[in-house]
Structure 1
């Protein structure tokens, strides 16, 4: 029989995901001063780099493009602040943060109300194999992939190719797809107003640029900034859920809180990148309690070592995750096309 001293020395059992929800609730209150500060120190450098790139155009268009590409990092941070506004975690007033989110959505080329709706569906359905398709990276199970026709398998492999997923895809998403409320065509006027209002504001801004200086600022500053930010943003979204030991399940085995914690990574980034990505790498905590402001996430990791050590994904590991393509329901992990072929044979083979 274990004596009391031995019992006290035993490590505590890991908390269940639902238990963390109550613990994390105390971190949800935003600070108005801190939120305004984070907004200012993000927007001002972004505008300053825009102005610097524009001023540089008359001397060196290559330098202007380089400055614009660096500014893509600040545009990622702007998107992360828009993201917090969409979760009602940035200011105490929902109306204030909604209008800030709509304004930032013009800079990020992302209609705020459309994105907020699709992203809320992503949070509500993440990890549910029966509810894939909105706000996520398309992921097939091994069985689904093998049951497709040769053409269907080719299209999926093309979709998961890094060039498509991280270069062509982001440009299509932010420059074209976001111009219409795709997926919400019949969901109401609000989403049309969000998309068309964002388009109108964007058209006015770009029109003024062209009127003042011709197409050069649009082609050499606006586009490089947007493409870099889009690529980095999609990469971040990818590694947040596409890692080997992520979590997918079918109802009734799927459980919202467990899927949020187990199916989201803790992306370990060096400090400059943590700041520029607004701590979005602490994604397992964010998915478990999305009402927490991004600037309070490090506080949680300091207070709770269990969460600090959970779901850790290093830069090197994240790069290797590009080779993970299919969810194996039997093994409960992602695997590559090659591993699936080795383990289960060539699809369509007799």
Structure 2
């Protein structure tokens, strides 16, 4: 661990021991770091740093509590941001966006052309998804057993493209004909057995309250009081935010979208229509698949690609808004421009994934304005880079990025943003320790 408390006379320097200053030595509580402090400057330190110093009996050695890197790096200098990039697997961590910048200020810098709906480009995306999905089903039908995982990976990614098309329809950025949008969105979601209207209502809330504590409907930190109040479910929560997090959107899909009590009275009618469509697909589509291919065929042709879709749904959502330096704010402290521009992450994936998923990971412009069609996201991103680039978070997908999310970003902490389950509940955090041991750390 390498971190620095904001005082020129107190530095944590990693594992290499330095010559004690004025005969006084300070050792980090963490085994990976040692720190030294000039004793005569200690009274000048801030109170919270004074509380970090604990005398050990009569020896002239005290231990300095080195809390998470996030706590000690406010990312207010280029050097600190560079260190955080290396630690977390980012290409760039943006500067803090000034409080007086509004979301309208950011939107006003975008060229008008990025908001224009192009029917040809919209239907081209449908053609790409339909043909790539059909190709995937053909590969599943023809592949020997040892190539099936590759066929499932392709088909699961292709069907994710249907989700992105429905996603554009829900944001009213697919067509100028709003009835057509609802029809296309409903049909695009059917292979995923996702009810279109319930998802649209909940997703709109995600955009309105991105990274707002307790209000965002996407991934957010576990609240410590909730975690501690449910000992029966603690192990399930640890697994859900750790090893099985890459498919935990299944839980989100089930909990959020099928309960009529979660919707306003004026939404319930449209929700019922979507639920009826999904029910019809299950009642007609699944028996047809089973009749023609058997239960094994249902697993091969539908279930495995569906799980592949949920892998992308989970991991995309995690990467878009989750990192140790990206805060969740209470409604009183929340700032729309900071949440959408600086609280959203652009992540580059292999080009074939970007094509099949219609650039959904060019995600910052989508959160600046959800009215931008998916085929204009790259042009909008270029404009944001030109005007606001220094405030943006960017990465290329890598193992260190995923490992950081899965092993660090767990429980909400006001000062540090996140603390790991290993710190909150070490006695049940074996799954997180396992991930720390086995996951690659390549960036």
TM over 0.5: yes
| Inter-CA distance 171–255: structure 2 relative to 1 (3 Å threshold) | closer
Highest Rg: 1 or 2?
2
Distance (Å, rounded) in 1 between the aligned partners of 2:159 and 2:203: 19
One of 71, 74, 77 as aligned partner of 2:158: 74
What is the aligned-residue RMSD (CA, Å)? 2.8
Aligned to 1:43: 130
Deviation track 1:292-345 (CA, whole Å, cap 9, x = no partner) reads: 0111111123334255551113323421221221232124x3332345689xxx
Question: Within 5 A, what are the aligned runs for 1:159-238?
Answer: 159-163=240-244, 165-167=245-247, 169-172=248-251, 180-181=258-259, 184=262, 187=265, 188-238=268-318
Deviation track 1:227-247 (CA, whole Å, cap 9, x = no partner) reads: 111112111111111112213
| Inter-CA distance 186–34: structure 2 relative to 1 (3 Å threshold) | closer
**Cα pair 1:266 1:284 within 8 Å, conserved:** yes
TM-score w.r.t. the length of structure 2 is 0.65
Q: Secondary structure at the match of 1:253?
A: coil
TM-score w.r.t. the length of structure 1 is 0.81
Deviation track 1:51-110 (CA, whole Å, cap 9, x = no partner) reads: 3423x27xx455456423321110112111111111111112211111100001111221
Structure 2 unmatched runs, 5+: 1-96, 427-443
Aligned to 1:20: 106
**Cα pair 2:110 2:383 within 8 Å, conserved:** no
Q: Which has the higher contact order (CA 8 A, sep 6+)?
A: 1
Distance (Å, rounded) in 2 between the aligned partners of 1:247 and 1:173: 22
**Cα pair 1:266 1:312 within 8 Å, conserved:** yes
Structure 1 unmatched runs, 5+: 1-12, 343-350
Question: Within 5 A, what are the aligned runs for 1:148-163?
Answer: 148=229, 150-151=231-232, 153-163=234-244
Give the structure with the higher percent helix: 1
Distance (Å, rounded) in 2 between the aligned partners of 1:206 and 1:341: 43
Deviation track 1:243-280 (CA, whole Å, cap 9, x = no partner) reads: 12213212322123322222211113232222233222
One of 374, 394, 405 as aligned partner of 1:294: 374
Deviation, 1:112, is 0.6
Aligned to 2:347: 267
Aligned length: 320
Distance (Å, rounded) in 1 between the aligned partners of 2:389 and 2:357: 18
